């Protein structure tokens, strides 16, 4: 039997696509083994969201070939899509799969086995209108499954390379999405994460007005077996009264909303070509808090964007201090060749970006602790995901509906993959809240 291993870099969409390729290879008779073990085929699914991600992708391709010189090395994903001459730039790679080509991996490997000639399967993604489909019934995570519903982005933020390597918005057939979720439910998954490159644009490329992101969630909420639906990311201007009130009526949708902010300063947002103001963002946050009980609202923030003055950063810091989000993912701005922001004047010094990032990280730690501690003494439902060792003691750990990480003293390991009601007792450490399993008390 042939063997294959996978290394996935980057986002949830990449993880989903790696799961899809792995399932195709399994159906073709391959055994999937951990990355680093000897394998006939090694697939590296790359990322290009920042220059650092591109550099890491390049390093991992080198490492894969050095660790396993005889492997057939397959490079796919956004970094591969972004390089002008992949054959010259990555001589160690045997097969290049651009975006929208990954679902052909089996036939391309069969072709390679016949002639052992290098293959370059990179298309002009900017003129691609077809959605690349996979059919997944299992994933590397045995409790939570990502479900990709769309690809591509039409927004063209000035710092972002993704529209150039992922192409325009392409939505997945709604019946296809529903059938995959039913298959995952039949395999025992209790939670799905609805994901995509720009997920709230789902349906905008389809003429039927009833095919949209809101109606997709309504459809998925009706599927038996799935107990939780988590949303990967929302655009702030998609948080309308109609959307929020509809979602509030869907009992499986978790009250956990990731609204990407990027900056708390309107002038910076304009240079980023974001399509909302800080007031519109705040209105969305207040709407979610009005309709949902203690929703977990998380965000992304880019620090040190070109032209970000001390006053602009102070505006962002004060804004984030005021709205008190649950968690912020903080990224120092990274120049990306091929984007508008790369050519902007007033690039910020790395030391300044680091200092500003640290200020926001300290604020984030306080906000995160405050939100999580508010659940002490409360009962919450936790999806038990795995058994882990924390400071020499075994715990069953998982996430609440609001994505708070919870640890329960290890007991019945058959609880892994199940949703249990626990009582939050106290904070265990900076990462976990400690809880008592009510069924054991």
pLDDT digits (tens, 9 = 90+) for 141-157: 668 999 999 999 999 99
Q: How confident is the model at residue 441 (pLDDT cuts 50, 70, 90)?
A: very low
> DSSP letters along 76-116, please?
EEHHHHH-S-HHHH-TT-SEEE-TT-GGGHHHHHHHHHHH-
What pTM value is reported for the model? Answer: 0.94
Q: If DSSP states are collapsed to H, E and C, what string results for 347-392? A: CCCHHHHHHHHHHHHHHHHHHHHHHHHCCCCCEEEEEEEEEEEECC
User: Using CB atoms within 10 A of its CB, is residue 438 exposed (0-12), middle (13-18) or buried (19+)?
Assistant: exposed
Residue spans per domain, the chain: 3-123, 126-233, 257-374, 379-440
Let me know: does 287 contact 241? Beta carbons within 8 Å. Answer: yes
Identify which of 140, 218, 206, 220 has the alpha carbon closest to the alpha carbon of residue 176.
Answer: 220
- Domain 3-123 belongs in CATH node 3.40.50.12160: yes
Partners of 362 in beta bridges = none
CATH topology of domain 379-440: OB fold (Dihydrolipoamide Acetyltransferase, E2P) (2.40.50)
Length of the chain: 441
Sequence-ordered alpha helix ranges (H) in 90-240: 105-115, 162-166, 174-186, 213-221
Q: Do 126-233 and 257-374 fold alike per CATH?
A: yes
Say how far apart CA 330 and CA 333 lie, in whole Å. 9
Average pLDDT over residues 281-289: 98
Q: How confident is the model at residue 339 (pLDDT cuts 50, 70, 90)?
A: very high
Q: Which CATH number fits domain 126-233: 3.30.750.210, 3.30.420.10, 3.20.20.70, 3.50.50.60?
A: 3.30.750.210
């Amino acid at each position: 039997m042939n063997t294959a291993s996978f290394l996935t870099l980057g986002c949830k969409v990449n993880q989903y696509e790696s799961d899809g390729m792995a399932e195709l290879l399994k159906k073709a008779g391959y055994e999937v083994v951990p990355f680093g073990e000897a394998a006939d085929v090694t697939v590296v699914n790359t990322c290009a969201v920042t220059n650092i991600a591109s550099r890491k992708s390049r390093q991992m391709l080198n490492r894969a070939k050095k660790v396993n010189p005889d492997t057939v090395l397959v490079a796919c994903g956004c970094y591969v899509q972004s390089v002008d001459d992949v054959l010259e730039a990555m001589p160690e790679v045997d097969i290049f799969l651009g975006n929208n080509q990954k679902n052909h991996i089996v036939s391309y490997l069969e072709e390679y086995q016949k002639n052992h000639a290098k293959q370059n399967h990179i298309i002009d993604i900017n003129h691609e209108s077809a959605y690349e489909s996979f059919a997944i019934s299992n994933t590397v995570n045995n409790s939570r499954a990502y479900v990709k519903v769309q690809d591509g982005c039409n927004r063209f933020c000035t710092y972002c390379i993704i529209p150039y390597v992922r192409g325009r918005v392409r939505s997945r057939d709604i019946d296809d999405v529903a059938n995959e979720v039913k298959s995952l439910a039949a395999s025992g998954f209790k939670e799905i994460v609805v994901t995509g490159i720009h997920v709230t644009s789902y349906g905008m490329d389809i003429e039927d007005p009833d095919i949209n992101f809101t109606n997709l969630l309504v459809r998925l909420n009706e599927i038996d077996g799935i107990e939780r639906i988590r949303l990967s990311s929302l655009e702030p201007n998609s948080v309308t009264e109609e959307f929020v009130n509809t979602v509030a009526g869907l009992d499986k949708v978790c009250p956990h909303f990731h609204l990407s902010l990027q900056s708390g300063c309107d002038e910076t947002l304009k240079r980023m070509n974001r399509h909302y103001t800080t007031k519109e963002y705040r209105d969305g946050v207040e709407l979610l808090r009005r309709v949902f009980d203690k929703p977990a609202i998380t965000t992304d923030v880019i620090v040190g964007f070109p032209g970000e003055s001390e006053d602009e950063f102070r505006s962002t810091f004060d804004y984030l201090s005021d709205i008190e989000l649950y968690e912020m993912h903080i990224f120092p701005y990274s120049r990306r060749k091929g984007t508008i922001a790369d050519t902007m004047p007033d690039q910020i010094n790395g030391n300044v970006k680091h200092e500003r990032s640290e200020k926001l990280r300290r604020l984030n730690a306080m906000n995160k602790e405050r939100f999580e501690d508010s659940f002490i003494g409360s009962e919450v439902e936790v999806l038990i995901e795995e058994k882990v060792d924390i400071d020499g003691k075994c715990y069953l750990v998982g996430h609440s509906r609001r994505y708070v990480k919870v640890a329960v003293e290890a007991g019945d390991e058959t609880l892994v993959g199940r949703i249990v009601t626990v009582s939050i007792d106290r904070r265990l450490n900076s990462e976990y809240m400690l809880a008592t399993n009510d069924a054991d008390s």
